[in-house]
Amino acid sequence: MATTSRSIKGQLFIMMVLEFFIWGAWLPLIFGYLPSLGFSPGQQALILNAFPVASIVGMFFSNQWADRKFIPEKFLAFSHLIGGLAILGCGFTKDFTSFFILMLVHCLLYVPTISITNSIAFAHMKDPEKEFGIVRMGGTIGWVLAAWPFTFIFVNWPAVHALTSSGIIDWLGNVFANPLVGDAAKAATKWTFVVAGIASLALSAFSLLLPYSEVKKTVQDSGSEKLAWVEALRLLKHPYILILWLVTLVDSFVHNCYFNWTGVFLGTAKNAGGVGIASNWITPVMSLGQIAEISTMFILGTTLKRLGWKLTMIVGVLGHAARFAVYAFGGQSAASIIAIQLLHGVCYAFFFATVYIFVDSNCPKDIRTSAQGLFNLQILGLGALLANSICPWLIQSVYTTGNQVDFKALFMVPLLASSVAAIVLALMFKPPTRGPGIVQSVNA
C-alpha cells in the first residue's frame, strides 16, 4: 500500500512538473518579445490578456465540465493536445491575428488545467496540508527546468565556434560569454513557444497514465444547484472567503507586475536605469525565485501548522512588498536584485499555494475544481487582466521620458498595493478554526 501511495505521488509530481514547465517556458520572455514583432501596446495587451480571459471563461464552463461531466485525466489529455499544438504555432508566426488566435486557443485550454491538476492532486491525498506542498513543488521544478535550456538557446553559437576551447570548462566559459544581443536575441525567443508546445504534447500523453479520478455527482436534494460554478460563487457569502478573494485579486495584480516588468528591468542597460543582465541570463536569474520556492514548499506544511492560515498568507503578501522595495530603493546593484529573486518562493508558496490548500479544506468536495477556479479567477484571471492591461501602458508611457524608464516610481505602484493588501488581510480576514467552523456546504 505504501509503495502504491508513493507511486501515485510520483505520478502527481511529474504531472505538476510538466504542467508548469509549459507556462514557465513562454511567459517570462513574452513581454519583451511582443514589442519586437511590431505589435502596438494595445495589441500586446490583447495577447497577454488571452490568459486571464481564459481563466474567466474557465470559471463558468470548463471547470463545470471537469467537476460534473468528464473524467479529469481525459479532459487534461485533450486540453494539452490541442493547446500544445496552438502554442507550438505561436513560434512560427509574426502576424498579429494569427498569433492572437493561437494564444487564445492555447490559453482557453491550458488555464483550466491548472485547477484540474490541483483537483486531481487533492483527490489522491490523505493529508493535503502536509502533502500538497511536496507535490506542487514539482510545478516549481518544472518552471525552473523550463528556464535553463534558454541559457544555451540564447547563445551566439557562430562566435563560440570561432573560438578555440580547451576542455569543457573553457568551452562553457565561451558559451556564457557570448550571449545573443539585440534583434538576434529577440528572434530566438520564438523557441520558447516551441519548447512549451512539445512539453504540452508530452503531458497530454502522460495524462492517460494518471490515477483515475471519479466524476463528482451532485446531491439531488430540493434546492440543490447543478451548476458547480454557481455553488462556488455562493461561497463568497462567507465574509472570510470574500475578504480572501478580494486580497487575492490585489496580490495577483502585484504578482503579474513582477512578470511584466522584471525581465525588462533586468535586461535594460545600467545607463538606462536597469540592471544590465545579459539576455541569456535573464530567465535563469528569474528562475532563482522558483528554486527558493522548492525549499519553501518543503516547509509549507510545518509553517501552516505553526503560523496558521492568516499569518502565513500575510508573510507571502509582504514578500512582494519587500521585493519591489529592493527594486525601487536598492539602486542598480545586480547582486541585491538577483538575491531578492529568492523571495519569490515565499510570495508564491505562502500565499497562492496556501490559498489552494485553504480552498480545498474549506469548500465542498463536489465543487472542488470550480472552487479552485473561483480563486483562479482572481489569480490567473482578473488580477492578470488588470496587470496586463495597464502594465505596458505604465512602463511605456506613464513612467517613461524619452527612452528612460523611471523604474523607482514604477515599482512604487505594486509596493503600495501589496502593503495595503497585507493590512486588509491582517485586520479583516478571520478564518474559522479547524473543525465545526469550516464550510462543509455552500448552504450552511
Mean pLDDT of the chain: 83
What percent of the chain has pLDDT above 70? 88
Instruction: Tell me the whole-structure pTM to 2 decimals.
Output: 0.71
DSSP letter string over 119-163?
Answer: HHHHHT-S-HHHHHHHHHHHHHHHHHHHHTTHHHHTB-HHHHHTS
Query: What whole-number distance in Å separates Cα of residue 433 and Cα of residue 396?
Result: 46
Q: Does residue 242 carry a pLDDT above 70? A: yes
The mean per-residue pLDDT over the stretch 374-397 comes to 86
CATH architecture for residues 2-213+226-428: Up-down Bundle (1.20)
pLDDT, tens only, 273-287 = 888 888 778 877 887
Could you give the CA distance from residue 419 to residue 185 in angstroms, rounded to a whole number?
A: 36
Q: Which residues of 388-403 are buried (b: 16+ CB within 10 A; e: fewer)?
A: bbbbbebbeeebeeee
The Cα 232–Cα 377 span in angstroms is 11
- Model pLDDT, residue 285: 86
Q: Cα 213–55–204 angle (5° rounding)? A: 45
pLDDT in tens, 105-145: 999 999 888 878 887 888 787 777 778 778 888 888 898 88
Q: Which of 194, 205, 262 is nearest to 26 (CA)?
A: 194
Residue 232 has pLDDT above 80, yes or no: no
CA within 13 Å, CB half, 203: 34
